[in-house]
Amino acid sequence: MSATYPYPIIAREGWPFVAAAVVVAIAAGWLIGWWSAPIWLAAFFVLQFFRDPPRQVPGDAHTVVSPADGRIVAVERARDPYLEREAIKVSVFMNVFNVHSNRSPVDGEVKKRWYNSGRFVNAALDKASLENERNALWLRTTEGADVTCVQVAGLIARRILCYVREGDSLARGQRFGFIRFGSRVDLYIPKSATITAALGDKVYATSTVIATLADHV
């Protein structure tokens, strides 16, 4: 799939799941009447899980936006295990009620992509960053800064989807992937950046500013 992606109200990844849930709910309604209410509730949950709203993109080429909806569970100095450098790590945890579409945090080029198989421990735990199944992108911004964006599977998430390859260009807020059912996204940002996110903050993909990159990196 192209890196560009039209924003349907319901993510394409969810169409088969939504269709199946609605068909089952309709059949249950026909067979058992109002007793089918819990099944309709489950169908509604599937529908809300795969929602994929368009977002306005704030800032400029120095702006780092959230790659996911969720809650900030880490803001700390850490070693970027992909680029072998000291960086600031910002982690966003997505629960099953968050939008699970992932979007580029910066304007830049995909310099490299890594995939690592792994475990499926609770994505809210720090060890998930290094032990769970994950997909990492090295993004070099138009200003020359390096940002690493890592999709991490969670306890329930069993499918990481990434639609970009090395050499692709991404615009800030552009959709590049999806993770099904609970997970996290880690960002490794240059130490010179000014971090605006704080531990515990609720953030939204594309529309929440995470950091501002320095003029010189």
Q: What are the tens digits of pLDDT across the range 10-50?
A: 888 778 888 888 899 888 888 887 888 888 898 888 887 78
114 C-beta neighbours (distance < 10 Å), count: 13
Of the candidate ranges 66-70, 119-123, 132-136, 198-202, the one whose mean pLDDT is the lowest: 119-123
Q: What are the tens digits of pLDDT across the range 194-208?
A: 999 999 999 999 999
Write down the mean pLDDT value for the chain: 85
Q: What are the tens digits of pLDDT across the range 107-116?
A: 999 999 998 7
Assigned CATH for 63-212: 2.70.70.10
Q: What are the tens digits of pLDDT across the range 90-104?
A: 999 988 888 888 999
CA R_g for the chain? 18
Query: Does the structure show a pLDDT above 50 at 1?
Result: no
Query: Does the structure show a pLDDT above 70 at 149?
Result: yes
Counting Cα atoms < 13 Å in the Cβ hemisphere of 128 gives 26
Query: Does the structure show a pLDDT above 60 at 3?
Result: no
Query: Does the structure show a pLDDT above 50 at 123?
Result: no
Q: Is 207 a catalytic residue?
A: no
Integer Cα distance of 50 and 30 in angstroms: 26
Strand order in the sheet with 175-179: 101-103, 175-179, 160-162
165 by Cβ neighbours in 10 Å (0-12 / 13-18 / 19+) ranks as exposed
Integer Cα distance of 33 and 217 in angstroms: 63
Domain ranges for the chain, please list them: 12-49, 63-212
- The catalytic residue among 36, 66, 101, 183 is 183
User: Which single residue is written with the structure tokens 């680029």?
Assistant: 83
- Give the pTM: 0.83
